[in-house]
Structure 1
């Protein structure tokens, strides 16, 4: 029996393709890990003896690693000063605040090797390459350039002035319809309870606007790139956690050579540009560094924001308060 067959004599699915189909169902319908494990066990019982279907979520993940869509766990300073990467990779203490890299136990003893804070990073470049390796998705990524009806109305981000400005300013980028136009969405939430603020989780998601409108906002095309979790939100220090993503975005702007386009059957150099952010007003201030509250809080007017200070409250208002 071939090692990649589901069972002896199976010609329609390999072990990997069957597992990918099952995992897509899990993601589509929000299936829990326990439920998925039980489904795999049932699949193994229903198939003939000698089948290679994994019997647990752990084994399934090990098999899916063959797709190359892995993630990186990066150690971070608990005070959001640095990521332990590049020149800080071998450091054991933060060079800014001096706090230890390792977690402190209840007995106040450092647990060497156990990081105090971890950030999950999902590199987008391998995922973009995988999108172009799908014939249907690769075709959809050039929908904005191949569409037939352009009626002068804004029905897609390609009709926006910012899209056209990018084409005019960098025509070599705009002339290749496969180059990606991206938006970055971020916000914080408490995954445990809406009534407690003792824990914060900040996902950063990339949205690909090359796709047609009925596809670009679907969950499977919203690409999680960064997951920041901890007892407090990163605030203005979120730029520290954006470092690996910015490095990859710079590489995408310079161009990634040797990307295979399954629709056209050729290799090309992929480039991408981050054009927009999607977030609420406080998160906008964190990502852009603009003041969004108090004095000169208008991010459009900036220093020209008119402001008037109330010198003295009237007595009747003070009495009412």
Structure 2
């Protein structure tokens, strides 16, 4: 199982219930600071931050298990760790894109080597003008949203907050929430059937680019796309836990 398999076990709500159980299970008898899940997430973040190999991470898990008291719940291999983390829904899909942003190389264009619009190759060109097959110039990382929405709104409290803008928003003539904006009203007028259901999600999109290598000489750029749910009350909609990555556009 490699990084592309992370999250591919599925989005079964029963599997997600199991990971909630891992979040309540102590790391070892008498430990109150870390649970099995929180410790594993911390360790996996270190692996990603420092570029640790899967073999090295497996050896670290084995060592951690030996250092902790008997009866600890730390996974004993990278495979077991990923099985636990995958139920959090951290899956993604890599989609090649036209370097000029004309198309995504999927569905009818999945096997295309050149963009049907501008004719440019999707593959990276070496210094000697030879194309590197299977090395794309531009890649979009897509993180599926619907499974995450389903898990998020398994919470009754969170699901109830979806209709706050319709049920509890005070009408005082002041703009205190996006529901007061002209854009919100325009959307309701243009698609009245959508506007009638207050539980329909209103999403704001934001993105910006940065150089992932912190080097002015590098041509690489990374553009994360973040979505925010405007259905929620103003004190929740900008909270970090309700901001979701949808896409990462990487250019090399």
1:46 paired to 2:61: no
The CA distance in 2 between the partners of 1:214 and 1:26, in whole Å, is 31
Q: Which protein has the larger Cα radius of gyration, Structure 1 or Structure 2?
A: 1
Of 232, 235, 251, the match for 1:214: 235
1:185–1:204 CA contact under 8 A, matched in 2: yes
Is the contact made by 2:137 and 2:251 (CA closer than 8 Å) also made in structure 1? no
Is the counterpart of residue 201 in structure 1 residue 204 in structure 2? no
* Cα separation, 2, equivalents of 1:171 and 1:86: 32
In structure 1, runs of 5+ residues without a counterpart are 232-321
**How big is the shift at 1:22?**
4.5
Q: Distance in 1 between matches of 2:165 and 2:84?
A: 36
Deviation at 1:227, TM superposition (A): 1.1
Distance 1:69 1:94 in 2: 30
Aligned to 2:172: 151
Tell whether the 8 Å contact from 1:199 to 1:229 is kept in structure 2 after alignment.
yes
**How many angstroms apart in 2 are the aligned matches of 1:26 and 1:137?**
29
Partner of 1:70, secondary structure, is coil
User: Take 2:80 and 2:126, find their aligned partners in 1: how far apart are those partners?
Assistant: 32
Distance 1:70 1:97 in 2: 31
Native 8 Å contact 1:5 1:52 kept in 2: no
Q: Is the 8 A contact 1:143 1:212 kept in 2?
A: yes
CA contact (8 A) 2:61 2:74 kept: no
Kindly report which structure 2 residues correspond to 1:1-321, keeping only aligned pairs within 5 A, or say none: 12-13=24-25, 20-22=37-39, 33=48, 44=65, 45-49=67-71, 51-53=73-75, 60-105=81-126, 108-147=129-168, 149-193=170-214, 198-231=219-252
Rounded Cα–Cα distance in structure 2 between residues aligned with 1:59 and 1:106:
42
Between the aligned partners of 1:178 and 1:198, the Cα distance in structure 2 is 43
SS at match of 2:226: strand
Q: Mind listing any 5+ residue stretches in structure 2 that lack a counterpart?
A: 1-16, 28-34
TM-score (norm 1): 0.55
Give distance in 2, aligned partners of 1:178 and 1:25. Answer: 35
Cα deviation for residue 217 of structure 1 reads: 1.1
TM-score normalised over the length of structure 2: 0.67
Question: Hey, what does 2:13 align to over in structure 1?
Answer: none
Q: Is the 8 A contact 2:165 2:233 kept in 1?
A: yes
1:72 touches 1:121 (CA, 8 Å); kept in 2? yes
